[in-house]
Amino acid sequence: MLTLHHLGISQSERVIWLLEELELPYALKHYTRDPVTRLSPPELKAVHPSGTAPLLTTEEGVTIAESGAIVQFILARYGDGRLAPAVQDADFAHYLYWFHFANGNLVPHLGRVMFFGLAGVAANHSAMGFAHERVTRALAMLNDRLAETPWLAGAEFSAADVMNVFGVTTMLHFSPWDLSPYPHILAWLERVAQRPAYQRAKRKGDLV
């Protein structure tokens, strides 16, 4: 059985949600953040050198880090064509782009705003202005895409949606951002909230 090493308020929520969408059996091992640093506990370092969540231990005992890699592994081995368009499908290019948009664009820019804030960078500093502009651009791109189609890859829900929801929900716990100028993102999140698998994932993983 797969074992997911889960840390609350982290990208491991993507993996719980994916496993629930695919209705796969898995063991969920919860970890608690350090009460002072709010970082991962040292116990995770014993599971994988990265020391961060999520971590997935396979049935063969191999442990994989990085949420995107874990999602791709699960889809490749257990997806049976679900939650990803076929490579010959017209939507495959959209799927691939938006899948990687999450950790290649949106989340890093939000993270930069978060770290600048923690470092005491002034709101009117040019670096903070640049970071804010990049977040605004990323959110506008996401909103524009969702104005065209109900899900990021196209007409069907996919793992591209699983990857991106974190950036406009849980990530905002660290980098608060007003989403009211982005009505199509908000409507998308309402559709996500109606999915039974997402509701189960929220209960099991304490998703924000």
Spell out the domains of the chain, with CATH numbers in brackets: 2-83+198-205 (3.40.30.10), 92-195 (1.20.1050.10)
- Residue 159: the pLDDT is 99
Low-confidence ranges of the chain (pLDDT < 50): none
- Residue 115: the pLDDT is 65
- Residue 194: the pLDDT is 98
Q: Cβ(152)–Cβ(146) under 8 Å?
A: yes
- Residue 171: the pLDDT is 78
- Residue 112: the pLDDT is 82
- Residue 86: the pLDDT is 97
